[in-house]
Amino acid sequence: MSIIYHESAREFHLTNGKVSYIMEIMENGQMEQLYYGKAVKDRESFHHLHEEMMRSLMAVSIPEPGILSMQYTKQEYPAYGTGDYRMPAVTVSQKNGSRISNFVYQSYEIFAGKKSIAPLPSTYVEADVEADTLEITLHDEVTDTDLVLSYTIYNDFAAITRSARFLHKGKDAIVLDRALSACVEFNDMDFEMIHLSGAWARERYVKTRKLEMGLQTVQSLRGASSSEHNPFLALKRPNTDEQQGEVYGFSFVYSGNFIAQVEVNTHDMTRVTMGIHPEMFSWELNAGESFQTPEVVMVYSDQGMNKMSQTYHRLYKTRLVKGEWRDKSRPILLNNWEATYFDFNEEKILKIAAKAKEAGVELFVLDDGWFGARNDDYRGLGDWFVNLNKLPDGIKGLSEKVEAMGIKFGLWVELEMVNKDSDLYRAHPDWVIGTPDRFESHARHQNILDFSKKEVVDGIYEMISKVIRESKISYIKWDMNRYMTEPFSKGMLPADQGKMMHKYILGVYDLYTRLTTEFPNILFESCASGGARFDPAMLAFAPQTWTSDDTDASERMKIQYGTSYVYPIVSMGSHVSAVPNHQMYRMTPIATRANVAYFGTFGYELDLNLLGEDEMKQVVSQIEFMKKYRELIQMDGDFYRLVNPFEGNDTAWMVVSQDKSEAVAAFYQRMNKVNASWLRLKLEGLDPEALYEVDYYSGRPDAGVVEVMKAYGDELMYAGIVIDREELNKNGGDFGSVLYTLKKA
């Protein structure tokens, strides 16, 4: 087992040779964390790692002459009010008005495998031998409430998952005002905090800040995980870079309001907490009722940021994503949105699909505008029946015609939203989220359906499942184009309104579960105005996410680079779009647009009928390239970040196969330079003893693939590849790029 309990010392040691996490039961019955980091050898007791001393103004948590203080102890699940003045993991309101709790050790259980926490998504195992789980039960005597802290350690990953479950037994109801998923503490503050923040069209930019005393927080109160702050943070040592040094990652498997917080006290102790945001959250528990928190996935690396990311990539690809598409590379698709927007009919759609088939595209996707009175974004949303004026044979007929061409058919939906100018709203105005006697804010001319109500989820499921059953649909793009305002569920009891935003997310998970269960062969892609809900929980239902509405190749370098800190590149929806780009109005070479999009799901967001002969030849060549290398890029390979776009003019990254026999590497520049200095691209992850054949792929049909050199892996990693600036100029100069393929000779 990877989990050891030392009864005499009352200590738990989770270790798998890659990471160790050590806890003990303290004198007062609460749980203390003694160590988290690189794996250490087990011993009978680690109690010497516990530190305590009397300090001025310190409150003591045990009878005299003891000096144990919660203020200076690294706690597993802290509560405010009994000597600890830092931000807590739990706050429980009680009948008498007290918010003080004291959860003390009662029992433990160690078992092979990992339990599901459904309906919440979480990582999983396929066989019990893959992981071990520890459940520690704590009890608050005054309220008669159990708290179960769950820890799972995977054998093959430096990863530990955390969650908490409350079971209330007392006769008087309690209210959880704060119920976070995990707390981890460190003795020192010698860290830099990494987080992924931005906004629409610039999601998940990498931000780095040195820890200071006080609170450092990222959060969302938008009803979704948000474009503004991703539910992730990492603490790295100041000397840590991509390839060396210590880093601790924290990723939250949840799609709603969250808080990820680092607090440094005035004695340099660092506390990390993560969970559902306590604002707008209150959960009443009566006798016999329970509450389960979502999961936090903690990853440790002593080999830099890239190793942390690779651990998340492999874990999420294989033990978070589920179903048929977990182990399959993605079809090359063409989406009509930027080609037509709402202005289309069946003839136009079939013409675009036919040209896509001619180029080698495997899946055509019909985006917004196919239903109800949907000729613009003011009306029709929520009316999930076909607009027969545009599509006289319906989705059924159109999908059959597209499949008859020899390609698959996909469909766009936005199931959580409604326009007030719709049949659905006129029939069910009470299905919309909004506070009585208050103005209901709208965004993109739409409102949010109240998925905290089962009847709303049932109604949407019945409408959309009918369309799917009748048609030949292989792919669904599930969009969500606004954040939540005036959060209130009409008809819900006043005491339960604090449950509404969490229950909404559970409703989203419920609808996803129903649709993926009934239609297991469909590839779902989640979307939220691009990447406003790119979080691990979504990957449990939809194995890929539209990374950003910004399809500009140069901007996508930053967006995809940041996203790769946590999320596998096979989960990133990435397309080649038209120029001038519809968001940035920028002209970039079609070769660079493809060279960026290769490192994702790959597809097109344009009408190929509008391309010239030379560009069409390039498209055919691009599709052939992606078909040849997509298994390596999306499924088998490990991703390495080589040059950081947030630090200069250039970007580079690569994918290396697990056996190190082949690789694909790309280098991109933003602005061209006159009389510039030499360029060297140093690779990573290769076999230093192996001889590689290095080919340059121009993407230009007239040049094709050209052998550059043969070199050993050590030379390619330590001396690097000399980049030919002439080739950058041929590929556009400004926003030029080069692409290399490597294979063992």
Catalytic residue positions? 479, 549
3-class SS string, 434-455: CCCCCCCCCECCEEEECCCCHH
Q: 82 φ, ψ to 5°?
A: -120, 40
Q: Which residues does 262 contact at the CB level (< 8 Å), separation at least 6?
A: 193, 211, 215, 216, 217, 233, 235, 270, 271, 272
**Spatial contact of 170 and 144, defined as CB atoms under 8 Å apart:** yes
Q: Please state, in angstroms and rounded to a whole number, the distance separating the CA atoms of residues 702 and 57.
A: 77
The DSSP bridge pattern shows strands 417-418 and 447-448 to be antiparallel
* Residue 674, burial from CB neighbour count under 10 angstroms (0-12, 13-18, 19+): exposed
Q: Specify whether the backbone of 326 is left (phi greater than 0), alpha (psi in -120 to 50) or beta.
A: alpha
Beta bridge partners of 260: 218, 274
Phi, psi of 669 (to 5 degrees): -120, 155
Separation CA 220–CA 199 (nearest Å): 12
Q: Give me the phi and psi of 181, to 5 degrees please.
A: -95, -30
3-state DSSP assignment of residue 257: coil
Contact of 595 with 698, CB cutoff 8 Å:
no
Alpha helices in 216-329 (DSSP H): 304-319
Per-residue HEC secondary structure of 462-487 comes to HHHHHHHHHCCCCEEEECCCCCCCCC
Q: How far is it, in rounded angstroms, from Cα 716 to Cα 556?
A: 26
The C-alpha torsion from 104 through 109 and 112 to 117, rounded to 10°, is: -60
Which of the 8 DSSP states describes residue 112? E
Cα 592 to Cα 406: distance, rounded to the nearest angstrom: 29
Backbone CA torsion sign across 522, 525, 527, 533: positive
As a whole number of angstroms, the longest Cα–Cα distance in the chain is 87
Calculate the CA 236 to chain-centre distance.
20
Alpha-carbon distance 515 to 465, whole Å? 7
Of 50, 53, 94, the C-alpha closest to 75 is: 50
> Would you call 676 exposed, middle or buried from its count of C-beta atoms within 10 A (0-12, 13-18, 19+)?
exposed
C-beta of residue 631 within 8 angstroms of C-beta of residue 329: yes
Question: Beta strands of 602-704 (E only): which ranges?
Answer: 603-605, 638-643, 650-656, 662-669, 680-681, 691-697
Count of other CB atoms within 10 angstroms of residue 401: 17
CB 224 within 8 A of CB 527: no
C-alpha to C-alpha distance for 178 and 275, rounded to whole angstroms: 9
Beta strand pairing call for 290-292 and 159-168: antiparallel
First vs last C-alpha separation in the chain: 42
| Three-state DSSP state, 266 | coil
